[in-house]
Amino acid sequence: MADITIDLGGAAALAEARHGDPFSILGPHDGQVRALLPGATGVEAISNGTAHRLTQVHDAGLFAGPVPPGPYTLRIDWAGTVEETEDPYSFGLLLGEFDLHLLREGTHQDIAMCLGAQPMEVDGIPGVRFAVWAPNARRVSVVGDFNSWDGRRHPMRHRVEAGIWELFIPRLTPGAVYKYELLGPQWNLLPLKADPFAWQVEVPPATASVVADIAAIPKPRPWNRPSPQDGQPVSVYEVHASSWARGDGDVALGWEELGDKLIPYAVEMGFTHLEFLPIMAHPFGGSWGYQPLGQFAPHAPFGPPEHFARMVERCHEAGLGVILDWVPAHFPSDPHGLAMFDGTPLYEHADPKEGFHKDWNTLIYNLGRREVRNLLIGSAVHWLERYGVDGLRVDAVASMLYRDYSRNPGEWVPNMYGGRENLESISFLQELSRVIAERCPDRLLIAEESTAFPGVTRKPDDNNGLGFDFKWNMGWMHDTLEYMERDPIHRRHHHGQMTFGLVYAFSEKFMLPLSHDEVVHGKGSLIGKMPGDEWQKFANLRAYLSFMWTHPGKKLLFMGGEIAQHREWNHDRSLDWHLLDDPKHAGVQRLVRDLNRLYRGLPALYQRDTSPDGFAWSVIDDASNSIFAYLRFGNEGEKPVLVVCNLTPVPQQAYTVGVPVAGAWQEVFNSDAGIYGGSNMGNGGVVQGAEESSHGQLASLTLTVPPLATIILTPA
């Protein structure tokens, strides 16, 4: 037998799983093949049909022996079970220089197809290529059921120039469960880490990553998606996927069953988009998805990635757009996640004054690090392109923009100029919007931003804008809800809360949100916020929703609001669909459906949402009667729309309102109609306008304005 030469020190390091360059020892070397296979009782290298028995040269399972040059396989005897496979250490470099260059720059926009677990063929051999960023680790191994979670079996090659570790494991197939085992910079063994770039994960509370069958995920089909321009109707139904409806045994529905029920419902209700609370993989359901760890993987309890892709496709087939809540502001500190990923603060800031959210007990992404930005922008592109979703609603933007967000003096670090603005986050958001505008120009980017930060919906190159298509109008929501919660007898003293939103309504492109945040944490339900007896509560809610649907700005309503659910939303329970047996609740549902249809059918209600010439007050100063009247205008040739709101329980007879033209005006909507549960007071369908100027308009209407109601009229 030929001499077997091997570095005994290196062999010992391999055996102790502390060798950072396994390819320097394992695989083919100078006419020998070396394999570390702990637990094997015998190994042969098969070359050109000939078996060459390898000798065990270390008790830990290191085998070596002479083998002719060329391709070979390993025949491994696992104590009576024989496996034949290619040697992972016989393959060359996997990632190309251009990939490494882009990763190093932080500009690899297809990072989801580069890092993580990628089923593929290498040199004609099927298997899975693993790649992960861990620049400060001493050693990284892929571990899973396929190697008994033994970190000695599959240590990875370090591509030092980019801090990437890579390995191709032949014959491994989709469905394999895996994690990464890392030695930190101090040679310390870290908790097993899930793959930050995994396309699929285990169902919690299990925490491992899963090799996804990427080829089984259908590619998005082209469809005539709604334009992101503000001249289109956008009415969003916000949904928490696991509590919209529950299945037998009170369990969450999967994407297929949910789609069977939710899609036709949203279409029947007239919404243009579904928006899901974050469906990215998250370890704790009680976070509603707002503490994600898998920025590339759909949440496992709803089904595999291909089921989510089919859900999006079905929405498109039904004419519904899909928006996902997306969280680039922070992440949880679970030990299997991103925290101290390679033994250093890699994805987070080292200084807790920059890197820890006290409010949420989470870690803040270090957006000054280009590789971290690359992960997040790659995630955004992944959902928009690979799954074909129509928009992202970026969560907690305010917390990203300011270094002193929710911090007391001395608890935050100023920027390089001594200010409170988070320059790195601002730059990140601008880069995000530029990338999406270039690669996905027909998709929406929406900001949940609660401050007066200027230019949220301006283009990044336009006076330092952030580049969002729309911004949630949190001020409008807080002011108007606070007004509606007041007893009508006191509303006259707070009239400005309903009108103030028009002072700044055209400073940004706004979306009006009645979101999940308003029906949790002791805030009660929408119907529960309304004052008065039961009839007044429902009348108030109907009038308020009608006010919202006719106010400038796109619309968003959280599930349950459309059926006037009494109780506060509970993420572990289905909506109370049985309430629809009550005509009052069914009336609110019908009202929302009719508002959506009216909204989409009257261009004056959406075409000039962001332009001051699309709105005019007719009655703004009638605080004593708590009446508001305003006009909406569309593009040239479209009919104007008159909206009159009476927010007291006192009906108004012969009430004069200014309008731009005389003649017949049709009452096309009345929230007090009997079909909605109202008193059926109104104007008999048509009102004749007089050529008598009023409220700055050339003509006027004399109306009956029902109690706690909103009416809508257009020229007949």
User: What residues are annotated to the active site?
Assistant: 395, 448
Query: CA dihedral defined by 116, 119, 121, 122, rounded to 10 degrees?
Result: 20
First to last CA, the chain: 101
In single-letter form, the type of residue at position 69 comes to P
Residue 686: CB atoms within 10 Å: 11
412 bridge partner residues:
none
- C-alpha–C-alpha distance, residues 344 and 592, integer Å: 51
**Which residues 6+ apart lie within 8 Å of 408 measured at CB?**
none
The angle at the Cα of 106, spanning 102 to 108, to the nearest 5 degrees, equals 50
Query: What token pair was written down for 36?
Result: 């570390």
d(CA 262, CA 504) in angstroms, rounded, equals 35
Question: Which residues, listed in sequence order, are joined to residue 524 by a DSSP beta bridge?
Answer: none
Neighbour order of strands in the sheet with 177-183 = 139-144, 177-183, 209-210, 200-201
CA distances to 169, 209, 523 from 142, in Å: 9, 11, 46
Six token digits for residue 279: 């469906």
How far is CA 449 from its chain centroid?
A: 15
Beta carbons of 518 and 477 less than 8 angstroms apart: yes
Q: Which residue has the tokens 């000054």?
A: 368
Pairwise CA distance, residues 178 & 151, whole Å: 11
Secondary structure letter of residue 256 according to DSSP: H
